């Protein structure tokens, strides 16, 4: 079984990248699948939501100061985390001056001393060298989209960038678009969602993540949505997402075999 690596990307801020990364990691752990969650954002939201403390972080790994295996911690929810710290911004600048700057994460992942069913990379809201490292490492790109006015415009730009980076670095990806914070009572959200269904039939996931306050509350208690409120709409939706992505990636694997 090959490792399924997902880069969770959108240059737009606050669209649900971290919530998706953390909730998916917890969902797969509940399904007894092995997961590594990588925090690739100096805001460190995914790390603080899943760990109490950590002394090593992904920045030191990328700079070659410590082996990746020494910077992996277990979350109480049963998945592994490669956390970030705010120094990741300076790592980013240092990387720009190095050789193979786009493939530092890929090289580090190749030295993991165990294999995972899923590796989820929570990217920052920018298309910087770290995000490019995530693109080079992952076969799958998961793009959370909030169905609002500028979403489609932003998405078009993001897809162009992914396309040009992929061509330049000779990597290919399977794209998945995920509607997040969806409110079906909002006319604009419904219109944007319909547009997405029209233009991105092959990429748009069926699962829709609803706007659900429980998802926003859970991290402040250091819990995932499943321990915080497992019967919430948010928990149900993220379990469905885990199932859908599992099915789709398995189908692709079988086609390729
Ligand atoms: N489905 C949801 N319903 C309600 N609130 C949500 C939902 N998803 C995320 N949120 C909240 O919205 C805010 C932004 O979400 P999140 O941090 O996941 O976005 P992000 O894309 O990772 O942001 P950034 O670009 O800053 O990294 C957070 O306060 C989060 O708790
Ligand atoms: Mg985030």
| Residue 244: pLDDT over 80 | yes
Using a 10 angstrom Cβ sphere, with 0-12 exposed, 13-18 middle and 19 or more buried, the burial of residue 114 is exposed
Which CATH number describes the domain made up of 4-256?
3.40.50.300
Q: What's the mean pLDDT in 201-230?
A: 96
For position 236, what pLDDT does the model report? Answer: 98
Percent of the chain with pLDDT over 70: 100
| Residue 3: pLDDT over 90 | no
Ligand nearest to C-alpha 13: 1
| Residue 257: pLDDT over 80 | no
Length of the chain in residues, anyone? 257
For position 108, what pLDDT does the model report? Answer: 98
Helix (H) or strand (E) holding 223: none
Domain segments of the chain as ranges:
4-256
Q: What's the mean pLDDT in 185-208?
A: 95
The residue assigned the tokens 């959370």 is 144
* Mutation pick for ligand 1 pocket among 9, 14, 142, 218 (CB with most ligand atoms within 8 Å): 14
Q: Output the residue whose Cα is nearest ligand 1's atom 8.
A: 16
Using a 10 angstrom Cβ sphere, with 0-12 exposed, 13-18 middle and 19 or more buried, the burial of residue 23 is buried
How far does the centroid of ligand 1 lie from the alpha carbon of residue 255, in Å? 34
One-character DSSP codes across 102-144: GGHHHHHHTT-SS--SEEEEEE-SS-SHHHHHHHHH-SEEEEE
For position 254, what pLDDT does the model report? Answer: 84
Q: Minimum mean pLDDT among 41-55, 149-163, 213-227: which range? A: 149-163
């Amino acid at each position: 079984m090959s490792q399924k690596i997902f880069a969770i990307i959108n240059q737009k801020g606050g669209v649900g990248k971290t919530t998706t990364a953390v909730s998916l990691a917890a969902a797969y752990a509940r399904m007894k699948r092995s997961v590594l969650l990588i925090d690739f954002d100096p805001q460190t939201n995914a790390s603080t939501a899943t760990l109490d403390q950590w002394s090593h972080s992904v920045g030191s790994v990328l700079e070659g100061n410590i082996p990746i295996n020494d910077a992996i911690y277990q979350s109480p929810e049963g998945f592994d985390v490669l956390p970030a710290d705010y120094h990741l911004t300076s790592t980013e600048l240092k990387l720009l001056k190095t050789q193979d700057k786009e493939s530092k994460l890929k090289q580090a992942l190749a030295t993991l001393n165990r294999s995972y069913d899923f590796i989820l990379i929570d990217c920052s809201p920018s298309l910087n060298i770290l995000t490019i490292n995530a693109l080079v490492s992952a076969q799958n790109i998961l793009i959370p989209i909030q169905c609002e006015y500028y979403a489609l415009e932003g998405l078009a730009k993001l897809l162009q960038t992914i396309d040009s980076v992929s061509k330049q670095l000779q990597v290919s990806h399977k794209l998945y678009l995920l509607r997040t914070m969806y409110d079906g009572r909002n006319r604009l959200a419904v219109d944007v969602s319909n547009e997405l269904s029209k233009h991105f039939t092959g990429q748009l996931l069926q699962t829709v993540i609803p706007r659900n306050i429980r998802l926003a509350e859970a991290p402040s208690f250091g819990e995932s949505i499943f321990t915080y409120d497992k019967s919430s709409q948010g928990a149900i939706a993220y379990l469905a997402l885990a199932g859908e992505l599992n099915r789709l990636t398995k189908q692709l694997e079988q086609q390729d075999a």
